[in-house]
A = this chain, B = another copy of it.
């Protein structure tokens, strides 16, 4: 990238200001001059440096996205929509996987700040509330409420929990398990758990709750969790898995143990991941696209100094397919 605005200016025999002007289409320049400058830029294969511009404008047009793990299909899908919307609005995306590691998340936040990103979407959070408040950059959190002052986007986890549990009850399940990621992660997803408990209590059913440990998305851990569940509760006839990925593990165990689905065991997942469309899995569908787009929109509004709602809760819906 040796070629700078100065090279273009020299080639045409004008000042850099003039070149800058045609670049930004400011002020009045004769058509012929514009033409000459544009030709020179083309010829030299000149591309203005966003780095220099960022320095000057104090604005990078980059947003940071921090996730636990992009390879998890839910995050892959939401990221796709975040990217698409950000791109439309002229923003680039810097992708950061925290892997639920506090240290890595912290380092990434420092990196993003150093890179002068204009804002950050948090799809992961492992630090303390005050750490986030001191980031001092426009922020939106996805699926988690970090503090009252940081806007978040989520879907209606409570309602999702109600819908899923009621379906299993309606289908006459008598022994139901709720399976989830770690509840201490302090996600809004915990409300699914709360809803489950409220629906199930006082009903004439057995129930149990199982959660993974804190290490994030290890499919092998999921597997162990599920297999021990079936060992301890052989009479199980309903499972509410708080993610589609977990639900797949349940289906796998059922195949392995020869439990018919939905005949002997009914299974409902959560998320409504598009890539799992072929699965025939009953699930609670989150409006993933909308969530991603709103996250970007509210972030850009903050960047523009406009107010944004602090709490955004979008509706979910039940998609009943072959596993119930």
Chain B residues with CB under 8 A of A278: 219, 222-223, 245, 248-249, 251-252
Chain A 210-223, CB within 8 Å of chain B: the 1/0 string?
A: 00000000011011
Is A73 in contact with B275, judged by CB distance below 8 angstroms? Answer: yes
Given contacts A50-B116, A116-B50, A95 and B79 within 8 Å (CB-CB): yes
**A320 at interface by CB-CB < 8 Å:** no
Chain B residues with CB under 8 A of A277: 219-220, 223
Give the number of times this chain occurs in the complex, counting copies.
2
**A58 at interface by CB-CB < 8 Å:** yes
Residue from B48, B58, B252 within 8 A of A1 (CB atoms): B58
The stretch among A24-32, A64-72, A194-202, A304-312 that forms the contact with chain B is A64-72
Query: Residues of A within 8 Å of B, CB-based: how many?
Result: 60
A115–B255 Cα distance when bound, in Å, is 51
Chain B residues with CB under 8 A of A219: 274-275, 277-278
A97–B95 Cα distance when bound, in Å, is 12
From residue 60 to 119 of chain A, which have CB atoms closer than 8 A to chain B? 60, 62, 65, 69-73, 75-77, 79-80, 83-84, 87, 92-97, 99, 104, 110-111, 113-116
Is A70 in contact with B60, judged by CB distance below 8 angstroms? Answer: no
Residue from B47, B116, B251, B275 within 8 A of A49 (CB atoms): B116
Given contacts A248-B278, A280-B252, A97 and B71 within 8 Å (CB-CB): no
A244 to chain B, nearest CB (A): 10
Mark A residues whose CB is within 8 Å of B: 1, 45, 47-52, 54-55, 58, 60, 62, 65, 69-73, 75-77, 79-80, 83-84, 87, 92-97, 99, 104, 110-111, 113-116, 134, 136, 219-220, 222-223, 245, 248-249, 251-252, 255, 274-275, 277-280, 322
In the complex, besides A51-B60, A72-B76, 18 extra interface pairs with C-beta distance below 8 angstroms are A45-B134, A49-B55, A49-B114, A50-B116, A51-B115, A62-B115, A70-B76, A71-B76, A71-B79, A71-B275, A76-B76, A219-B277, A219-B278, A223-B278, A245-B275, A248-B279, A252-B279, A252-B280
